[in-house]
Amino acid sequence: MSVAIVSGSSGLVGSEAVSYFASLGMDVAGIDNGMRARFFGPSASTLWMTEKLRREVPGFRHYDADIRDAARIDRIFETYGEAIDLVIHAAAQPSHDWAAREPSTDFTVNANGSSIMLEATRRYAPDAVFIYMSTNKVYGDRPNELPLVELDTRWEISPDHEYARGISESMSIDATMHSLFGASKVAADILVQEYGRYFGMKTACFRGGCLTGPNHSGTQLHGFLAYLMKCAVTGEPYTIFGYKRKQVRDNIHAADLVRAFDAFFRNPHCGEVYNIGGGRKSNCSMLEAIALCEQITGHEFECNYVDESRCGDHIWWISDFTRFQQHYPEWNISYDVPRILNEIYALNLERWSAACGI
């Protein structure tokens, strides 16, 4: 028996990982206590995904557990012991806006919860591969110091700049505003690296750009493309904060991300760090994404604009995943933004329309 443990198993990345690794014949134990609904309200609940995984994924067992509960997490790991070959830690408080409301909750979920997951892995399955879903917010607002040029629909960087192909792991994380969310994720990120270097565990931090896909329970404070498309379908107004609506994000489909996890799982290193995202293959500005949503839905988009940007928010982010591809040259992006938005629309239209009585 080969077991994968996935925390945040009902979320975007976690649910994709559950389905993927179960399809490889692994037994998957999912840990998710539905806390997303507390963070963002009932419309962001992932209960629908929990039930879907229970119905459709062979060899899946769901644990309604809080990653901050060390005793409970220990019992789950002890149940499987050395049969655990892979741990994917995707559970998190994922919004830098929400973190300012309850800093202690944010830190205990993101930092303390990660410590508990790492220690349970070290005690019960020290040879397992441990993958942590980190974030580009560990770089704080340092990317905003880049010399950007304003174009008609986006901000962009000079083609002769060292980060023209995207931002690499060489960017410093020091002396910058991270947001409280960014700080809690930095703490976990560094800890994951240290367990790799200090204890020789096979750990990796994947510092993601915008993570997306049809499994995302998108909401105003988290889930850029999914929530944007949901607003386009339902007519709910979308609020854009600052940067003349031209802020740029790269977007990686959860399926592409989980294939990167699999590549690392098959040939792991110790204490690795990778920037991962859509890169130059899959990115868009806010204006460009809205235009695509209008084209796909046939609806005119309703949005509000607030001139003040959010603290620590990026003007421009495109990931350079060259380092990951140097280690795993067989991996590449298969989705671009138009394909992602079309899939989100097709697979959620019925559910969203029913929820708002369309």
For the cut 80, the answer to whether the pLDDT of residue 43 exceeds it is no
Average pLDDT, whole number, for the chain?
Answer: 94
Contact by Cβ (8 Å): 181, 93: yes
Tell me, what CATH number does 182's domain have?
3.40.50.720
Q: Which of 179, 253, 180 is nearest to 210 (CA)?
A: 253
pLDDT in the model for residue 1: 81
Report, as an integer, the average pLDDT of 320-348: 96
Q: Which domain holds residue 301?
A: 3-355
Q: Which of 119, 90, 77 is nearest to 211 (CA)?
A: 90
* pLDDT one-digit tens code per residue, 266-292: 999 999 999 999 999 999 999 999 999
Instruction: Please tell me the least confidently modeled range out of 42-51, 97-106, 259-268.
Output: 42-51
Instruction: Please tell me the least confidently modeled range out of 34-43, 237-246, 264-273, 333-342.
Output: 34-43
The model carries a pTM of: 0.94
pLDDT in the model for residue 220: 59
pLDDT in the model for residue 174: 96
For the cut 80, the answer to whether the pLDDT of residue 354 exceeds it is no
pLDDT in the model for residue 162: 97
Res. 309 pLDDT band, cuts 50 70 90: confident
Res. 167 pLDDT band, cuts 50 70 90: very high
Contact by Cβ (8 Å): 249, 222: no
User: Considering its fold, how many domains does the chain have in total?
Assistant: 1
Report, as an integer, the average pLDDT of 244-256: 96
More confident residue, 222 or 30: 30
For the cut 90, the answer to whether the pLDDT of residue 321 exceeds it is yes
Q: Which of 42, 35, 170, 44 is nearest to 109 (CA)?
A: 35
Encoded tokens for 101: 């409301």
Please provide the distance, in angstroms rounded to a whole number, between the alpha carbons at the two ends of the chain.
Answer: 46
Q: Which of 93, 75, 108 is nearest to 36 (CA)?
A: 93
Res. 208 pLDDT band, cuts 50 70 90: very high
Q: Mention every residue, 6+ apart, whose C-beta is less than 8 A from residue 149.
A: 155, 156, 157, 158
Res. 355 pLDDT band, cuts 50 70 90: low
